[in-house]
Amino acid sequence: MWTAIHIAVKDLRLLARDRVAVFWAFGFPVLFALFFGAVMRGGVDDESSPVRLMFVDDADTPAAQALRERLSATETVQVEDAELEQAERDVRRGSALALLHVPEGYGAGPAGALSQVEFAADPSRRGDAELVRGTIAPLLAPIENAAKRPSLLVDRELDLETAAPANGWMLVLPAALLWGLMGCAAAFAVSMVAERTRGTLIRLHASPVRRGTILAGKALACFLACVADAAVLLLLARFTLDVSPVSMAGLVIALASVVCCFAGITMALAVTGKTEQAVAGAGWSTLIVMAMLGGGMVPLSAMPEWLVSVSDVSPVKWGIVALERTIWRGFTWTDLLVPCAVLVGVGAAAYAVGAILFARAPT
Amino acid sequence: MTFAGWTGFLELDDCRVAPDHAAVSGWEAGGVGGDPQGVAARLQGVTKRFGETVAVNGLDLEVLRSECLGLLGPNGAGKSTTLSMLAGILEPDAGTIELPGKASPRVRSTRRRIGIAPQSLALYPELTALENLDFFGRVYGLSGERLRARVEAGLELARLKESRNERVRNFSGGMARRLNLACAVVHEPDLLLADEPTVGVDPQSRNHLFDSIEALLASGMTVVYSTHYLEEVERLCRRAAIIDHGRILAMDLVPRLIEQHGGSAHLRVQFVEGPSAVLDLPELSPDLSLELATATPLQQLAQWSDAGLRFRSIDVREPNLESVFLQLTGRSLRD
């Protein structure tokens, strides 16, 4: 245990002494995170592909049925029927863009009378939401009553445990944090090969230290550096971007899970190559593919359906889900359990693979 | 010369005092405290292959306690592989390696008794000399006051007390080599494996390294010294093993090796004028020089001098380990 800590302290000291490495581990991920955060933020607002609209029909009237048919005929939305509770949950979790609640009595009044419907949308996708709102409004009233359309579509307060994000940075912070952590973790992927090329691995192998302890020390260093990286990003977000997470305890758990995941993946990558170039290349390639699949580059909402299904295999997706819920979306502990368990499980599995490979690797 | 921090100081000339091979006993005693004239390591029929290449081929070797055993051979002879197996880093494909008490170097607890100074510098360039020693001391389980004392002793051994807080990346090759050696013994092992420890260093640093190794020998440490520089073996080692193609070709006390395998001395003279016909000399070269092998070069010179011959130059080459290697392998150490 102590030897692993000594190895971790040594690795962090080596990192701190190398200005270039410090930049790549801390500075670059922050810049990278901010850049991609800004890019993604714009991408979210401009998104215009078909989106899921949960249709809650509590009226069960011909007028409600007609409204549903008119909505289904548009190319903007993909209408799905749901109960109110389910629809709210899907929107709150971000798996559906919006819900349209047709209340009891809709269309039951005298012919030509106008009835209101309730609309609620995922606050992280305001661009989409406005597009859908603009699609729905003309369908609610005939042309001669066009001026009254806006008042027919009233906002429904979602039963969220938190308010909508205070600013756009809260929306992009999860992806920004993930990019930062991936960058930091990637910097540690070469640490094992560096031991080999430096010759110090021979000395470590000749010592009484177990190979598992060497790997554990490196994983610990990676974990601590990623935690420091996350702290830098969070402080930056808190004091310069006015971001305050909805639950600090939840965020700490989510971040710890994400860091466990990337530290484990990094250790698996660290033992696979024989040169620093090979490991660095494999590390970044793997992380970028995971980010692409998991919504770290292109929002999941913009992906085709099959790719959204595939995205479940990417830890980045689960990281974004966990971080979004703890930063602004709100969550129950049960909501947080699944993504965090997936992240820790992936990290542990990857670490185990790394440990087995390292134990079998020739000296 | 005295060296603080290492127990049991002897005069340097005493450093080479090691038992004769025939006097080996106490193998079962185990530990340093057993028979001081025991065996520090024993390799029997050790073979190591890397794919199709046989790096070490049925090697038998005994390292006596408190001696410096030279492993002399050209690059690729199998020296580093042998040391790696002795250090427990590599596992032999065949044969056995035992330390006192029948301990295997593959067992982690046994590794505390071994230190290795790898051929390549095994240091962290971004750490200081002190931090490198401190880290490797901790890796071997040292802590507290003992760690501090050992780090100080290491700095003194490497003569780096003044540069303790300088980063290794700023060190000269010689300073780094000395630190490389100090890191190998920071945990005070019984057996030091020095793999070509003087590669790429200037003569002054080389002498510093020799002094350090002699100080370690004086403290009772056993050293296996791998090199392809015969003069290093001649200076440091009482016994030497000639290794080539993964096999020990000969192993004995250095003088005995030379006596048995070194051949005759080599005499080269250039005369001032041609000798008279009465002298039975081989044919001279056009510049009146002569080259011959003889067991008694000085007697031969005296005989010629008595006959009135005068010499422009005389070069007598006594047989040495180079000629031993040449005799045994048919080629030079540096081929």
- In terms of domains, do B57 and B96 share one? yes
The DSSP string of A223-239 is HHHHHHHHHHHHHHHHH
Asked if the C-beta of A3 comes within 8 angstroms of chain B's C-beta atoms, the answer is yes
Q: Is residue B290 part of a domain?
A: yes
Q: Is residue B5 part of a domain?
A: no
pLDDT reported for residue B61: 92
Across the A/B interface, how many CB contacts are shorter than 8 Å?
Answer: 73
Question: Is residue A184's pLDDT more than 60?
Answer: yes
pLDDT reported for residue A4: 93
Dig out the tokens for A17 from the structure: 């002494």
- 8-state DSSP, B115: E
Which residues in chain B are contacts of A17 at CB distance < 8 A?
A: 126-127, 167
Q: What is the mean pLDDT of residues A231-237?
A: 85
Digitized pLDDT (tens) for each residue of chain B, 335 residues in all: 333 344 333 333 333 333 333 333 333 433 333 344 689 999 999 999 999 899 999 999 999 999 999 999 888 899 999 999 999 999 999 999 999 888 888 888 889 999 999 998 999 999 999 999 999 999 999 999 999 999 999 999 999 999 999 999 999 999 999 999 999 999 999 999 999 999 888 888 899 999 999 999 999 999 999 998 888 998 999 999 999 999 999 999 998 998 888 888 888 888 887 766 556 677 777 888 888 888 888 888 888 888 888 888 999 888 888 888 888 887 776 65
Q: In Å, what is the CA distance from A142 to each residue of A67, A96, A109, A145, A310?
A: 12, 28, 16, 6, 42
- In terms of domains, do B89 and B214 share one? yes
Using the structure block, give the residue that is written with the tokens 């709210």: A88
Residues, chain B: 335
Which residues in chain B are contacts of A199 at CB distance < 8 A?
A: 118, 120-123
Question: Is residue A346's pLDDT more than 80?
Answer: yes
How far is the alpha carbon of A1 from chain B, nearest alpha carbon, in Å? Answer: 11
pLDDT reported for residue A309: 82
Closest Cβ opposite residue A3 in set B84, B89, B139: B139
CATH number at residue B190: 3.40.50.300
A257: confidence class by pLDDT, cuts 50, 70, 90? very high
Which of B238, B259, B280 finishes a domain?
B259
Q: For an interface test with B, give the residue of A1, A10, A210 to mutate (most B CBs within 10 A).
A: A10
Q: Which residue of B has its CA nearest to A217?
A: B139
Handedness of CA B196, B200, B206, B209 (dihedral sign): negative
Asked if the C-beta of A363 comes within 8 angstroms of chain B's C-beta atoms, the answer is yes
- In terms of domains, do B29 and B171 share one? yes
Q: Is residue B330 part of a domain?
A: no
Asked if the C-beta of A210 comes within 8 angstroms of chain B's C-beta atoms, the answer is yes
Which residues in chain B are contacts of A208 at CB distance < 8 A?
A: 108-109, 111-112, 140-141
Q: Which residues of B, range 132-191, sit inside 8 Å of A by Cβ?
A: 135-136, 138-141, 167, 183-184
- In terms of domains, do B252 and B277 share one? no
pLDDT reported for residue B12: 31
Q: Is residue B2 part of a domain?
A: no
Asked if the C-beta of A20 comes within 8 angstroms of chain B's C-beta atoms, the answer is no
Rounded to 5 degrees, what angle do the CA atoms B128, B133, B134 make? 95
Asked if the C-beta of A78 comes within 8 angstroms of chain B's C-beta atoms, the answer is no
Rounded-to-integer distance, Cα A70 and Cα A74, Å: 7
Dig out the tokens for B229 from the structure: 């520089």
Residue ranges with strand state E in B16-93: 39-50, 53-64, 68-72
- In terms of domains, do B278 and B240 share one? no
Residue predicted with more confidence, A306 or A342 = A342
Rounded-to-integer distance, Cα A214 and Cα A332, Å: 38
Residues, chain A: 363
Contact A206 B116 (CB under 8 A): yes
Q: Is residue B203 part of a domain?
A: yes
In one-letter notation, the amino acid at residue A245 is P
Asked if the C-beta of B124 comes within 8 angstroms of chain A's C-beta atoms, the answer is yes
* b/e B237-251 (16+ beta carbons within 10 angstroms → b): bbbbbbbbebbbbbb
Instruction: Give per-residue pLDDT as tens, A192-214.
Output: 888 988 889 999 999 999 999 99
Q: Is residue B333 part of a domain?
A: no
Which residues in chain A are contacts of B141 at CB distance < 8 A?
A: 3, 208
Contact A208 B108 (CB under 8 A): yes
How far is the alpha carbon of A213 from chain B, nearest alpha carbon, in Å? Answer: 10
pLDDT reported for residue B109: 84
Ordered structural domains, chain A, with CATH: 2-43+165-360 (no CATH), 47-155 (3.40.190)
pLDDT reported for residue A51: 75
pLDDT reported for residue B24: 36
ipTM over 0.90: no
pLDDT reported for residue A36: 62
Q: Which residue of B has its CA nearest to A207?
A: B111
Asked if the C-beta of A10 comes within 8 angstroms of chain B's C-beta atoms, the answer is yes
- In terms of domains, do B167 and B295 share one? no
Closest Cβ opposite residue B118 in set A199, A207, A209: A199
Contact A203 B114 (CB under 8 A): no
Using the structure block, give the residue that is written with the tokens 């890191």: B183
Contact A206 B136 (CB under 8 A): no
Q: Which residue of A has its CA nearest to B131?
A: A10
User: Contact at 8 Å (CB) between B270 and B328?
Assistant: no
Which residues in chain B are contacts of A221 at CB distance < 8 A?
A: none
Which residues in chain A are contacts of B104 at CB distance < 8 A?
A: none
Dig out the tokens for B66 from the structure: 């408190």
Q: Which residues of B, range 80-109, sit inside 8 Å of A by Cβ?
A: 84, 87-90, 108-109
Q: Is residue B51 part of a domain?
A: yes
Q: Which residues of A, range 25-64, sit inside 8 Å of B by Cβ?
A: none
Laid out side by side, the sheet with B247-253 consists of: B114-117, B191-195, B222-227, B68-72, B239-244, B247-253
Phi, psi (rounded to 5 degrees) for B128: -80, 170
- In terms of domains, do B121 and B29 share one? yes
Phi, psi (rounded to 5 degrees) for B281: -115, 145
User: Which has the minimum average pLDDT: A15-29, A165-179, A269-283, B307-321?
Assistant: A165-179
Contact A199 B121 (CB under 8 A): yes
Dig out the tokens for B204 from the structure: 């002054």
Q: What is the mean pLDDT of residues A231-252?
A: 84
What is the number of domains present in chain B?
2
The DSSP string of B145-165 is HHHHHHHHHHHHHTT-STTTT
pLDDT reported for residue B228: 86
Which of A296, A286, A294, A288 lies closest to A315 in space, CA to CA?
A: A294
- In terms of domains, do B163 and B215 share one? yes
User: Contact at 8 Å (CB) between B18 and B238?
Assistant: yes
Asked if the C-beta of A207 comes within 8 angstroms of chain B's C-beta atoms, the answer is yes
Which of B240, B259, B278 finishes a domain?
B259
Phi, psi (rounded to 5 degrees) for A155: -75, 135
- In terms of domains, do B230 and B206 share one? yes
Q: What is the mean pLDDT of residues A147-154?
A: 65
Instruction: Give per-residue pLDDT as tens, A285-315.
Output: 888 889 888 887 777 766 777 888 888 899 9
In one-letter notation, the amino acid at residue A154 is V
Q: What is the mean pLDDT of residues A250-259?
A: 93
Q: State which residues form the domain around B313.
A: 264-318
Contact B118 A210 (CB under 8 A): no
- In terms of domains, do B247 and B268 share one? no
- In terms of domains, do B118 and B41 share one? yes
Q: Is residue B117 part of a domain?
A: yes
Contact A205 B89 (CB under 8 A): yes
Rounded-to-integer distance, Cα A229 and Cα A188, Å: 13
Contact A198 B124 (CB under 8 A): yes
Contact B124 A206 (CB under 8 A): no
Name the range with the highest mean pLDDT among A146-150, A156-160, B168-172: B168-172
Give the mean pLDDT of chain A. Answer: 82
Closest Cβ opposite residue A208 in set B84, B112, B122: B112
Asked if the C-beta of B126 comes within 8 angstroms of chain A's C-beta atoms, the answer is yes
- In terms of domains, do B238 and B303 share one? no
